Amino acid sequence: MTFIETEDGTAIFYKDWGPVDGAPVLLSHGWPLNSDAWEATARYLAVRGCRVIAHDRRGHGNSTQTWNGNEMNTYADDLASLLSTLELTGVTLVGHSTGGGEVARYVGRHGSSRVAGLILVSAVPPLMVRTEDNPGGLPVETFDALRDGESANRSQLYRDLADGPFFGHNRTGEVPQGTRDAFWRQGLESGTHNAYESIAAFSATDFRPDLAKIDVPTLVIHGDDDQIVPFDISGKLSAQLVPDAKLIAYEGGAHGLPDTERDRLNADIFAFVTR
C-alpha cells in the first residue's frame, strides 16, 4: 500500500496506475467514498497510456481518520502535498462531487502551476447551501438531515442514498445491486466523525472565489437530473463562473456518473486529457 505523509502527520493513501511517463491524471472522489469509486475510470485511462493517481481523502478509505482538518482548506493542502511528493506537473485534476470542491479549492489556494486542466463532475461548487447571497441554494435542513442520519444510523443512511437518489435508482430501478452495495461499503470505510464534518465542507464552503481563479482549460460535466447536487445550482453556474469553461450536460443523468454513465464519462475525460 502506498502513502504520503502530510505536515500534520496524516497518512494519505493513493493508487498510482499506468505508465510513469504517461499524461498524469488525478482523480478525487466524492463523499463518503474513497479512491475505489474511481477504479473503473482509472483503469480505462491507464490502459490507454495515462498515469492515473487516485487518493483517499483524509478520514476516508485507507487514509488516517484524523480528528481535525476535515474541511476544504486542509483537503486542498493534502492534495498539494501529494502532487508535490510525486513531483507531478501538467496534471489534469478530475473531481467528482466533493472532490470537485477539493480540486477547485486546490487551484484557489495553491495556484495552477502544476495543472494542465480541470474537470468538474457532478461537483459541489459554487455553493450548495442557501444563504442571503446564494438564494437558489438548498436549505440548511437538507444537510442537517444528512448529519442526523450520520449520527443516528450511518449504515442505513448510506443504504438509503445508494438505493435512492445518488444513482437515480429511485427514478429507474435499474442500478445493479453490486453498484449500490459498493457505495454502502465505501461509506462505512470512512470515519464517522470525518464523514460528519465533511458534510459542512461540501455544502457550506463558498467556492466562488476559487472558480474565479481558475486559469486552465476546464470541463464541467453534470447530469441534469442530479438529485444530490442539482444541476441548476452547481454545474450550470460553475460553467458560467470559470472563464471559458465548457459545459456538458448529461440528459437524465444522476449524481453518480462514474458508475451510471461510465462509458460516456470515461470517453469524455480521456478526450479532454488528450486534446
Look up residue 200 and give its three cell numbers.
459542512
Q: Is 244 exposed, middle or buried (0-12, 13-18, 19+ CB in 10 A)?
A: exposed
Q: Is 1 helix (H, G, I), strand (E, B) or coil?
A: coil
What is the rounded distance in angstroms from the CA atom of residue 272 to the CA atom of residue 275?
A: 5
226 is an active site residue: yes
Of 35, 255, 259, 268, which one is the catalytic site residue?
255
Of 36, 77, 226, 259, which one is the catalytic site residue?
226
The answer to whether residues 131 and 137 touch, using CB atoms and an 8 Å cutoff, is yes
Of 63, 97, 198, 238, which one is the catalytic site residue?
97
60 is an active site residue: no
Whose CA is closest to 70, among 83, 55, 57?
A: 57
Q: Is 176 exposed, middle or buried (0-12, 13-18, 19+ CB in 10 A)?
A: exposed
84 is an active site residue: no
Look up residue 75 and give its three cell numbers.
483537503
Q: Is 136 exposed, middle or buried (0-12, 13-18, 19+ CB in 10 A)?
A: exposed
What is the rounded distance in angstroms from the CA atom of residue 117 to the CA atom of residue 98?
A: 18
The answer to whether residues 95 and 119 touch, using CB atoms and an 8 Å cutoff, is yes
The answer to whether residues 205 and 71 touch, using CB atoms and an 8 Å cutoff, is yes
Q: Catalytic residue numbers? A: 97, 226, 255
